[in-house]
Structure 1
């Protein structure tokens, strides 16, 4: 006899998932800020111009492609292979996570199945109409997985900024037009490999 799944929806679980999704999606802006910072420094263009170019691009894949080309043209082949390509690979993995937050659907999970995996019987899973993703082992994101992914986005943004500080020789000159908060973040990165506080995002518009 087929065992009937024990589905126990609760408002607590739904609220926990909603908070985790919102928190993780909000962390993506740090990644875009870091990518823009690197691209701006390598474009050798005024802030208004680099901002127009970078944010005219709508897809994350195209933004990393632009940044990749700028990096490849500006640094040595050795640093490109050893440092940047690892960052590029991690970006691809984190982008899959970000896209899952946007395109997966909410499902209640058998309470017996989630034992030892999550505190909440709810998850984001591949859309039931997606015949490619449905049935794959990695098609579910529990609350804890999403929370961890959000923290990884912040850590990754710091990694990009650290790379920026490392490879841009005239950094102080390149960033002087950027918002003060972003300049301070780059200065902090330059002093310590792992800043403990979240990085401030630009709050002022180009002048």
Structure 2
């Protein structure tokens, strides 16, 4: 049995649906070798990302001393960036729970920030669905607050947020991100994304993960729109 259940027991998190908890640990490479499993963790990652954004926003909104909108936006970007989530995953010991295919394991996937980031969000998503928001908050409270006042080596610009704010200053429309193509082997993927407003393509970008490609597309669009 995956050791994640021992971890949840030790932290008094009353899981009920073992299947969804286990699915949060399943990378696509593992699913390819275990067709009997119901799915990988990508949908749960989507849910976990939303819960993480809400919790982090609430944390910063109630921060003392009070932060302005720009400070909250920048700090949230630093707290939920890929490298930070990978660090939280290791701190919690969750990296041991990741289920990888043989090839992905041999190529060092367990140390890859993008995979650890996805795992972190997926486990949060599974716990939210199975146990509720309060237990997700309990976990995040354990790892994130101490980083709020920590000095940052560099300033992270969240171009997705900046682009949305720029668009909404002139219109109530929102933007959407679309995967154009994914190339390369699983241990060195390359993603190309575009950002649209309705059917209008605002920008394109690429990166080693979907999140990085989205940020690159948003930056491309923002620099055009903000001229």
Establish whether TM, by shorter chain, passes 0.5.
no
**Structure showing greater relative contact order (alpha-carbon pairs closer than 8 Å, 6 or more residues apart):** 1
Structure with larger Rg: 1
TM superposition score normalised by structure 2: 0.29
Please state which structure has a larger fraction of its residues in strand.
2
